[in-house]
């Protein structure tokens, strides 16, 4: 008996291979030259992102399924990959200010970030349940360690431990759910889910529910969100930024692929998802009201934003996918920008995670404060920002005539109103006059400035001219036709 | 092209300010004022151009499943709101010179100019998405000005009232806009007449529009944000909010509400008429009881704008078309009053009418200017306030005699509270700091003078404005005037 060799399309895998090579180079440089500075190691990281993006260019608009159907490089995953690489590059820029005593060697930190992102790219292209699980585990394992790299601070150790314990539990749900799904349709391929989904067999429903619980945890959707505030607060700033953006981007790719593969149209089984979305919007926005630590605030914000993005799945149609991609991109630009300002001002410390540090900031550092205001306005959905057009797209999808759609639209609007206060509070503090002494001098390093500028550019350009984003993404460009 | 120049000239000026050093206050002031003046002059050119000032430009903007275009228009309805904005802005930006300390002057002028652009954008938007963008965007400059430039804890608290109330209104409007566009699949809703909606759907969507408009104006019982904002906002800001922004809701009703929902406006008119009369009476009664001069004028605004709600929902051609005259006139009077009261507050250091008085002795010029603005507010014939009120009352009487009779009561009350205000500031024995310089400076006289001149002009020749508007009304509202409730 001969075993047929697995056909491998190296073109499809090239971006991940290139990025992995970058990771290996980082490790080698770190090993061979103990004195290699952060700048060099993170520089290699940024270059690997650019190289991996270059490797993605030949894939633009193409659709390749490889590794016996386990992995797909298509127009859909292209945008997710681009967003992940963008997030990774910005995370490196944000990390550049971390102090040597922050714990962990910069080499392992950089390599872990890279491998974490590769996990995300596997998730974005995963076409069967095994690949999904592999991607999620690679992403999560690297992140467990990264959460603890601020280990001189106790809260970072605590974050890492909590993340491992709760994350493994979620992985358990995920793998058990996958097993039941396999039992329901007898195949690991996502495409095979459709048959079982059509009949809604008990095995499928149980498997899908457990699978959703696992993904809900990774996305920090309510009621699986309780880990997020502590872990966001404890992790180093740049890691928190990556958690808030990178993990969401990759996991939403999985959620979308599974839902679209299984249902292809609206289904009663998705009601659970709509309920989760509504709960997340409320929990995230109400929870953020009382936060005075910006990392915790961003944790609750990310819960709410994840709830908004789930609305994009309503109706399970093509417009939904483009709305999801647009909203994720808007979210990536604004969130990375906001964390960029925190990193920039804190100059390697976490001091600007505290709301009080922002009091009267605008009149001392007008530019960072003005850009911070821009990012928070975008998160709140104020017009002329990317976040606003994202919300228009989501509301458009919610109004498809179903009662759940209307309920989600109303909750989205209500959540947005609450978020006016949440995000407005930060802006209010920056513009309110200071009584008492001025806060300590704050940083002005170039690397985080680049990240902030990139975030601001995306936020404004995609807000004023959303069409430009459509034109640049293969999936959306095809949808617009 | 010219129309975009008008809309974006203030914003460009604002951006230009960023390139001027923060300490060069003379240059900052010069550029800002020049920008505002150029905008005003540019907007005047629409008066002379053919077809009664009409201009229209449309560029495709978003071509997804729902189409949107960058569609701006100036017609006989929008023209006067644009002129009001550019004229009041010149005065407010000029007035701002003395209110900002040197370190904050640049940001102050930047935000005022940006605010002007959002207002001009709103009054020219002919595409619903574009309209909504400006509708929400205008909250930001005012919020930031209240928080950062008013130097009082009360103003910083008022900023929350302003943001949350108007934000809520905006989001309700957004729901309505999306529900409407879910039917039309294009934000260009004005292009093809009233959309064919089912009765209940039209009713719900109009309700969301109306709620947003009622909050923005504001009208009873959605006015809670107004007294703190008007009382504590920096003078130039409140002059722009009371003078121009408060017209946004009623303008939107004329430009979008009536043409889009002819049947629902009819059906909901009984409720809105009751709210209008409540605003008129409640505003007048509340103004009577105020000791704070700015709060007093805030409540008088509630009363006066309530009259415009009455005019619109009386569905009489005279009253509907006179509403534009009334809105412009109220904008001029409110802006002038708030600017003058700002000068007074600056001199006597308080807004409490019981604490100071008798300024007329020492400041005859202030008295003269204040007299014009105050008499305009109480509707003295020969000033613009009279013309608008009179035409509205004549028109509304035809269809809603009962409500109009009640509203007449408020006109009487207006005399009382305006005289209370005027006498409280200027008459009685002098009780202000006798050493202080109380008379207006030349700059202050010159910046209010154009507003007062316009009040005179419209009072003596209301036809100049009113004869041009029936066409606007027939474009915008005939469907509503002829429609039957459904």
Quickly list DSSP for B316-343. Answer: -HHHHHHHHHHHHHHHHHHHHHHHHHHH
3-class DSSP state for residue A189? strand
Shortest CA gap B168–chain A (Å): 6
Burial class (CB in 10 A: 0-12, 13-18, 19+), A53: middle
- Among B68, B131, B171, pick the best mutation site for testing chain A contact (most A Cβ within 10 A): B171
Averaged over B352-368, what is the pLDDT?
A: 86
Q: Which of A383, A417, A466 sits opposite B132 (nearest CB)?
A: A383
Distances (CA, A) of B221 to A261, B226, B280, B293: 51, 11, 11, 22
Q: Is the minimum CB–CB distance between A478 and chain B shorter than 8 Å?
A: no
Burial readout A169-196 (b: 16 or more C-beta within 10 A, e: otherwise): ebbebbbbbbebbbebbebbbbebbeeb
CA distance B374 to B383: 10
Tell me whether A60 touches chain B (CB under 8 Å). Answer: no
* Cα gap A208→B403, rounded to integer Å: 62
Q: Which residue, among B161, B166, B178, B233, would best test binding to A if mutated, counting the most A CBs under 10 Å from its CB?
A: B178
Mean per-residue pLDDT, A451-470: 92
| Burial label, A5 (beta-carbon count in 10 A; 0-12, 13-18, 19+) | exposed
How wide is the angle at C-alpha B337 spanned by C-alphas B332 and B341, nearest 5°?
Answer: 155
Average pLDDT of A194-208? 88
Is 90 exceeded by the pLDDT of residue A478?
no
Nearest CA in chain B to A425: B160
What is the torsional sign of CA A56, A57, A60, A63?
negative
Are residues A431 and B144, on separate chains, in Cβ contact within 8 Å? Answer: yes
- Residues 6 or more apart from B358 whose CB is under 8 A from it? B426, B427, B428, B429, B430, B431, B432
Residues in chain B: 486
Phi, psi values for residue B57, rounded to 5°:
-145, 135
Mean of pLDDT over chain A: 90
B64/A399 CB distance under 8 A: no
Chain A CB contacts of B147 below 8 Å: 427-428, 431-432
Interchain CB contact of B132 with A (< 8 Å)? yes
In this complex, do B62 and A417 lie within 8 Å of one another by their Cβ atoms? no
Question: Which residues, in sequence order, are bridge partners of residue B59?
Answer: B70
pLDDT one-digit tens code per residue, B271-296:
999 999 999 999 999 999 999 999 99
Predicted local distance difference test score (pLDDT) of residue A7: 80
Q: Are strands B55-63 and A64-66 parallel, antiparallel or unpaired?
A: unpaired
Contacts of A420 in chain B (CB under 8 A): 163-164, 167
Taking CB atoms and an 8 Å cutoff, what residues of chain B touch A383? Answer: 132-134, 136-137
Please report, to the nearest 10 degrees, the dihedral formed by the alpha carbons of residues A185, A188, A193, A195 taken in order: -40
Phi, psi of B218, rounded to the nearest 5 degrees: -90, 170
CB A180, CB A203: distance < 8 Å: yes
In a domain, B427, yes or no: yes
Cβ-defined contact of B64 to A470 (cutoff 8 Å): yes
Predicted confidence (pLDDT) at residue B50 exceeds the cutoff of 70: no
Residue A177 Cα, gap to closest chain B Cα (Å): 36
Asked if B133 is an interface residue toward chain A (Cβ–Cβ < 8 A), one would say yes
> Residue B202 falls within a domain, yes or no?
no
d(CA B125, CA B133): 9
Structure-model confidence comparison of residues A91 and A269, the more confident one: A91
- Give the integer Cα–Cα distance in Å for A236 and A444: 19
In a domain, residue B267? The reply is: yes
Res. B347 pLDDT band, cuts 50 70 90: confident
Is residue B355 in some structural domain?
yes
Summarised one tens digit per residue, pLDDT across range B186-213 is: 888 887 777 788 878 889 999 999 999 9
CB B392 within 8 Å of CB B379: no
Q: Which of A373, A399, A466 sits opposite B178 (nearest CB)?
A: A399
For the record, the structure tokens of A42 come out as 């993170």
B41 touching chain A per CB within 8 A: no
In the numeric block, which tokens belong to residue A443? Answer: 């940083």
Residue A282 touches chain B, beta carbons under 8 Å: no
Residue B406 is assigned to a structural domain of this protein? yes
Query: Cβ–Cβ contacts within 10 Å for residue B185, how many?
Result: 11
In the structure, what pLDDT confidence band is assigned to residue A223 with cuts at 50, 70 and 90? very high
User: With an 8 Å Cβ cutoff, is B157 touching chain A?
Assistant: no
Residues of B in contact with A413 (CB under 8 A): 171-172, 174-175
Choose among B123, B109, B110: nearest CA to B7: B123
| Predicted confidence (pLDDT) per residue in B225-268, tens digit | 999 999 999 999 999 999 999 999 999 999 998 888 988 888 89
Q: Do A413 and B63 touch (CB under 8 A)?
A: no
For residues A215-222, average pLDDT: 93
CA B447-B452-B456 angle, to 5 degrees, is 155
Q: Do B372 and B383 meet the contact criterion of CB atoms below 8 Å apart?
A: yes
Digit-coded pLDDT (tens) for A283-334: 999 999 999 999 999 999 999 999 999 999 987 888 888 899 999 999 999 9
Distance spanning both ends of chain A, measured CA to CA:
49
Three-state secondary-structure class, residue A103: coil
Q: What is the pLDDT of residue B483?
A: 60
Residue B183 has pLDDT above 60, yes or no: yes
Residues B346-384 as b or e (16 or more Cβ within 10 Å = b): ebbeebebeebbbbbbbbeebbebbebbbbbbbbbeebb
Distance from CA of B178 to the nearest CA of A (A): 6
CB–CB of B136 and A377 under 8 A? no
The answer to whether residue B229 is domain-embedded is no
Q: Compare B75 and A217 and report the one with higher pLDDT.
A: A217
The pLDDT score that the predictor gives to residue B475 is 54
Banded model confidence at residue B464, pLDDT cuts 50, 70, 90 = confident
From the list A395, A431, A480, the residue facing B174 with the nearest CB is A395
B375 contact partners, CB below 8 Å, separation of at least 6: B383, B385, B418
Nearest to B137 among A384, A396, A428 (CB): A384
Helix H or strand E segment including A73: strand A71-73
Q: Is residue B76 assigned to a domain? A: no
Confirm if A254 and A340 have CB atoms less than 8 A apart.
no
Percent of chain A beyond pLDDT 90? Answer: 65
N-to-C CA span, chain B = 41
What does the alpha-carbon distance between residue B3 and residue B42 come to, in Å, rounded to a whole number?
9
The sign of the dihedral angle between the CA atoms of A64, A67, A70, A71 is negative
Interchain CB distance below 8 Å, B178 and A377 = no
Contacts of B397 (CB under 8 A, 6+ apart): B404
Check residue B432 and give its pLDDT.
66
Least confident of B338-347, B370-379, B431-440: B431-440
Average pLDDT over residues B12-26: 92
Residues of A in Cβ contact (< 8 Å) with B63: 467, 480
Percent of chain A that is helix, strand, coil (3-state, to 5): 75, 0, 20
Do the strands A71-73 and A64-66 form a parallel or antiparallel pair, or are they unpaired? antiparallel
CB pairs under 8 A between A and B: 84
Picking from B158, B162, B152, the residue whose alpha carbon sits closest to that of residue B345 is B152
B397 is a domain residue: yes
* Residue tagged 């995953």 (tokens): A77
Chain A neighbours among B 81-110 (CB < 8 Å)? Answer: 103-104, 107
**Cβ-based contacts of A396 with chain B (< 8 Å):** 65-66, 178, 181-182
What count of other Cβ atoms lies within 10 Å of the Cβ of residue A154? 10
The number of angstroms, rounded, from the C-alpha of A53 to the middle of its chain's C-alpha atoms is 18
CA distance B466 to B220: 27
Place of tokens 């709620």: B211
Count CB neighbours of A349 within 10 A.
17
B310: its two tokens? 């009455």
Q: Does the CB of B59 have a partner CB in chain A at under 8 Å? A: no
- H helical segments located in A126-188: 129-147, 154-185
10 Å CB burial of residue A48 (0-12, 13-18, 19+) is: buried
* CB-based contact, A421 to chain B, within 8 Å: yes
Residue with tokens 């998802």: A273
> How many whole angstroms separate alpha carbon A359 and alpha carbon A366?
12
* Count of domains observed in chain B: 1
pTM greater than 0.90 (yes/no): yes
Q: Under a CB-based contact definition with an 8 Å cutoff, are residues A122 and A369 in contact?
A: no
Lowest mean pLDDT among A20-34, A434-448, B337-351: A434-448
What the block records as the tokens of B28 is 């900052």
Q: Is A424 touching B (CB cutoff 8 A)?
A: yes
Contact between chains at A432 and B156 (C-beta distance less than 8 A): yes
Q: Which residues of B touch A399 (CB under 8 A)?
A: 178-179, 182
Per-residue pLDDT reduced to its tens digit, A127-184: 999 999 999 999 999 999 999 988 888 888 899 999 999 999 999 999 999 999 999 8
Give the helix/strand (H/E) hosting A71: strand A71-73
Summarize the confidence of residues A55-59 as an average pLDDT. Answer: 92
Average pLDDT of the segment spanning B25-34: 93
Higher confidence at residue A272 or residue A99? A272
Q: What pLDDT, on the 0 to 100 scale, is given for residue B18?
A: 93
B168 touches chain A (CB under 8 A): yes
Average pLDDT, chain B: 89
Could you say which residues from 428 to 447 on chain A have a Cβ atom under 8 Å away from some Cβ of chain B? 428, 431-433
Q: Give, for A72, the enclosing helix (H) or strand (E).
A: strand A71-73
With a cut of 50, say whether residue B269 has pLDDT above it.
Answer: yes
Measured between CB atoms, does B67 come within 8 Å of chain A?
Answer: no
- Per-residue confidence (pLDDT) for residue A481, from 0 to 100: 43
> Sorting pLDDT into bands at 50, 70 and 90, what band is A435?
low
Assign A25 a pLDDT band (cuts: 50, 70, 90).
very high
Q: Cβ of A470 under 8 Å from any chain B Cβ?
A: yes
Q: Report the C-alpha gap between A428 and B23 in whole angstroms.
A: 25
Full DSSP string of A275-306: HHHHHHHHHHHHHHTT--BHHHHHHHHHHHHH
Of A363, A384, A392, Cβ closest to residue B104: A363
Structural domain that includes position B413: 261-486
A413 → closest Cβ in B133, B164, B175: B175
- Smallest CA–CA distance from A481 into chain B, residue: B64
- Asked if residue A480 has pLDDT above 70, the reply is no
Mutate to test the interface with A, among B135, B137, B147, B211 (most CBs of A within 10 A): B147
- Rounded CA-CA distance A114/A22 in Å is 8
B211 to chain A, any CB pair closer than 8 A? The answer is: no
Nearest one of B86, B94, B95 to B115, comparing CA atoms: B86
CB-based contact, A51 to chain B, within 8 Å: no
The pLDDT score that the predictor gives to residue A79 is: 92
Residues of A in contact with B160 (CB under 8 A): 421, 424, 428
Please report the DSSP string for B47-92 in residue order: HHSHHHH-EEEEEEEEESSSEEEEEEEE-HHHHHHHHHHHHHHHHH
């Amino acid at each position: 008996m001969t075993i047929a060799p697995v056909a491998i399309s190296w073109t499809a895998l090239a971006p991940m291979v290139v990025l992995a090579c970058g990771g290996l180079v980082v490790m080698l440089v770190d090993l061979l030259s103990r004195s290699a500075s952060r700048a060099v190691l993170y520089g290699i990281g940024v270059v690997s992102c650019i190289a991996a993006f270059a490797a993605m260019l030949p894939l633009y608009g193409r659709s390749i399924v490889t590794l016996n159907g386990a992995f797909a490089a298509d127009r859909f995953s292209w945008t997710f990959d681009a967003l992940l690489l963008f997030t990774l590059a910005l995370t490196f820029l944000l990390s550049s200010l971390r102090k040597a005593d922050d714990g962990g060697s910069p080499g392992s930190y950089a390599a872990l970030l890279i491998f974490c992102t590769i996990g995300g790219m596997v998730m974005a292209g995963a076409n069967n349940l095994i690949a999904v699980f592999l991607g999620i585990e690679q992403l999560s394992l690297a992140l467990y360690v990264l959460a603890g790299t601020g280990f001189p601070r106790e809260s970072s150790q605590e974050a890492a431990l909590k993340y491992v314990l709760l994350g493994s539990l979620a992985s358990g749900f995920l793998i058990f759910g996958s097993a039941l799904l396999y039992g329901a349709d007898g195949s690991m391929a996502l495409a095979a889910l459709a048959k079982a989904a059509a009949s809604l067999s008990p095995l499928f429903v149980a498997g899908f529910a457990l699978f959703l619980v696992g993904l809900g945890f990774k996305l920090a959707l309510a009621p699986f969100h309780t880990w997020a505030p502590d872990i966001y607060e404890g992790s180093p700033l740049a890691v928190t930024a990556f958690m808030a953006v990178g993990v969401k981007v990759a996991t939403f790719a999985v959620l979308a692929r599974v839902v679209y593969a299984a249902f292809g149209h609206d289904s009663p089984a998705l009601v659970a998802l709509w309920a989760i979305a509504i709960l997340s919007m409320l929990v995230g926005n109400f929870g953020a009201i009382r936060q005075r630590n910006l990392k915790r605030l961003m944790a609750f914000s990310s819960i709410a934003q994840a709830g908004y993005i789930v609305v994009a799945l309503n109706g399970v149609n093509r417009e939904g996918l483009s709305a999801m991609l647009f909203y994720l991109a808007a979210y990536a630009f604004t969130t990375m920008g906001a964390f960029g300002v925190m990193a920039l001002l804190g100059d390697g410390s976490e001091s600007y995670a505290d709301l009080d540090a922002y009091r009267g900031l605008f009149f001392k550092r007008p530019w960072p404060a003005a850009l911070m205001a821009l990012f928070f306005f975008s998160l709140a959905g104020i017009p002329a920002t990317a976040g606003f057009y994202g919300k228009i797209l989501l509301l458009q999808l919610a109004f498809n005539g179903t009662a759940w759609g209307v309920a989600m639209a109303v909750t989205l609007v209500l959540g947005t109103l609450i978020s006016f206060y949440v995000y407005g509070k930060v802006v209010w503090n920056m513009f309110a006059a200071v009584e008492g002494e001025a806060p300590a001098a704050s940083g002005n390093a170039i690397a985080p400035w680049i990240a902030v500028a990139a975030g601001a550019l995306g936020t404004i350009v995609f807000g004023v001219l959303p069409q430009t984003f459509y034109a640049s993404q293969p999936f959306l460009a095809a949808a617009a036709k | 092209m010219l129309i975009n120049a008008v809309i974006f000239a203030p914003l460009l000026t604002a951006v230009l300010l960023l390139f001027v050093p923060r300490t060069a206050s003379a240059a900052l002031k010069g550029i800002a004022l020049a920008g505002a003046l150029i905008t005003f002059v540019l907007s005047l050119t629409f008066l002379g151009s053919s077809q009664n000032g009409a201009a229209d430009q449309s560029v495709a903007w978003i071509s997804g499943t729902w189409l949107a275009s960058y569609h701006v228009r100036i017609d006989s309805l929008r023209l006067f709101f644009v002129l009001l904005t550019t004229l009041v802005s010149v005065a407010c930006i000029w007035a701002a010179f003395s209110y900002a300390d040197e370190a904050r002057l640049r940001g102050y002028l930047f935000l005022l100019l940006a605010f002007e652009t959002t207002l001009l954008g709103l009054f020219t938007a002919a595409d619903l998405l574009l309209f909504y963008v400006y509708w929400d965007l205008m909250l930001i400059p005012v919020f930031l000005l209240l928080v950062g430039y008013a130097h009082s804890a009360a103003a910083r608290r008022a900023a929350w009232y302003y943001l949350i109330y108007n934000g809520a209104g905006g989001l309700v409007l957004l729901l309505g806009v999306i529900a409407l566009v879910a039917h039309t699949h294009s934000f260009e809703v004005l292009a093809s007449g009233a959309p064919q909606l089912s009765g209940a759907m039209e009713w719900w969507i109009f309700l969301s529009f109306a709620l947003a408009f009622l909050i923005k104006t504001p009208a009873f019982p959605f006015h809670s944000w107004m007294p703190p904002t008007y009382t504590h906002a920096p003078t130039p800001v409140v002059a722009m909010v009371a003078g121009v922004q408060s017209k946004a809701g009623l303008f939107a009703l004329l430009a979008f509400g009536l043409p889009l929902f002819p049947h629902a406006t009819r059906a909901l008119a009984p409720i809105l008429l009751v709210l209008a009369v409540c605003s008129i009476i409640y505003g007048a009664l509340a103004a009577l009881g105020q000791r704070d001069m700015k709060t007093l004028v805030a409540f008088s605004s509630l009363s006066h704008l309530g009259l415009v709600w009455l005019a619109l929902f009386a569905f009489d051609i005279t009253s509907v078309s006179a509403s534009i005259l009334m809105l412009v006139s109220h904008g001029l009077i409110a802006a002038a009053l708030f600017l003058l009261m700002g000068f007074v507050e600056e001199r006597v250091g308080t807004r409490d009418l019981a604490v100071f008085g008798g300024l007329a002795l020492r400041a005859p010029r202030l008295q003269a200017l204040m007299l014009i603005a105050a008499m305009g507010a109480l509707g003295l014939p020969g000033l613009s306030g009279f013309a608008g009120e009179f035409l509205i009352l004549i028109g509304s009487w035809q269809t809603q005699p009962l409500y109009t009779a009640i509203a007449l009561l408020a006109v009487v009350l207006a005399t009382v509270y305006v005289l209370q205000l005027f006498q409280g500031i200027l008459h009685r024995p002098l009780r202000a700091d006798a050493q202080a310089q109380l008379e207006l400076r030349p700059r202050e006289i010159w910046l209010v003078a154009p507003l007062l001149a316009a009040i005179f002009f419209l009072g003596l020749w209301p036809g100049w404005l009113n004869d041009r508007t029936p066409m606007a009304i027939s474009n915008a509202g005939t469907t509503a005037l002829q429609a039957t409730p459904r």
